[in-house]
Copies of this chain bind each other. A is one copy, B any other.
Amino acid sequence: DFLAALDEVHPAFGVNDEELQQCVHNEIIKFSSNIERILSDGQLYIDQVRKSSRTPLVSVLLHGPPGCGKTALAATMAMSSEFPFIKLISPESMVGYSESAKMNAINKVFSDSYKSPLSVIVVDNLERLLDWVPIGPRFSNSVLQTLLVLLKKRPPKDRRLLIFATTNERSVLEQMNMSDCFNSEIYVPNIVELSCVDFVLKELTLFNDDERNRALSSLQQDGFNLNIGIKKLLMIIEMSRQDVDKVDKFVSTIMGL
């Protein structure tokens, strides 16, 4: 039965840790309660798959604006499951692939996962896997159809699978009937509060306290609406670090977005 199968798992299944850790280049900074809630929701899905035999397949979609941190969060949750099979499906490993090579690569990860009693797959950047472009619009229908089937395909008897997928283009996926494929959705928001910026700035030690306060009060202007992804925020911090006047560069770049 299931527990027996779990014991037999070969280490050969492999957990591609390096690839997944690469997704979280700069660690997860817990700059808001959102981040904690997302991580604990992830834990619930991990538990469900581990425990309930009636739902051997659970799939979750992380969506939000570009650079909000979807990939880093999905990879982090996947690694925290410590399931014997953890793999990443990502457009970056398929550059230059033909449509059918992509289909095969995707299909192979799913087929491999069926050999492990407990598996988690991160499907990163769905719109890029689909070769989506809004002009036309164009996309790879054969990759789409492959995903539409695999995201809903029940693993064989005594096998269980958890899927975390990410996208910037939730509404596009809805038009493609793909949002029906997910059992749950997690929204990852941009940073809209200065307290979060403050938290991140402290963490990255760009400024001394005085500089940080000057920067934050400059941003506390009427009519300015903060709305920035964690990824862009990190980039601006590093750019500002090169400048003679770090505070000015930081503030003006953020306000110029």
Q: List residues of A whose CB falls within 8 A of some B CB.
A: 22, 25-26, 44, 47-48, 51-52, 54-55, 58, 66, 91-92, 95-96, 98, 100, 103-104, 107, 110, 128, 131, 133-139, 141-142, 144-146, 148-150, 153-154, 156-157, 175-177, 180, 183-184, 204, 234-235, 237-239, 241-243
Contacts and interface: CB of A to CB of B under 8 A. Distances in A.
Contact of A66 (B107, B180, B184): B180
B141 A131 contact: yes
A110 to B, nearest CB: 8
Given A22-B154, A48-B238, A177 B134 contact: yes
Contacts of A55: 234-235, 238-239
B92 A153 contact: yes
Contacts of A52: 238, 241-242
A180 B51 CA distance: 41
A26 B54 contact: yes
Nearest to A55: B238
A180 B125 CA distance: 14
Given A22-B157, A128-B149, 11 more contacts: A44-B242, A52-B241, A54-B204, A54-B234, A55-B234, A92-B149, A96-B100, A96-B103, A131-B141, A135-B176, A138-B141
A103 B26 CA distance: 30
Nearest to A141: B138
B95 A25 contact: no
A103 B25 CA distance: 27
Contacts of A149: 91-92, 95, 128
A89 to B, nearest CB: 13
Contacts of A58: 235
Nearest to A150: B95
Contact of A96 (B66, B107, B134, B238): B107
Contact of A95 (B107, B139, B175, B241): B107
Contacts of A100: 96, 98
Contacts of A110: 95
Contact of A135 (B91, B137, B154, B238): B137
5 nearest CB pairs, A to B: A52-B238, A55-B238, A96-B103, A131-B145, A96-B107
A128 B146 CA distance: 10
Nearest to A138: B141
A150 B95 CA distance: 8
Contacts of A51: 241-242
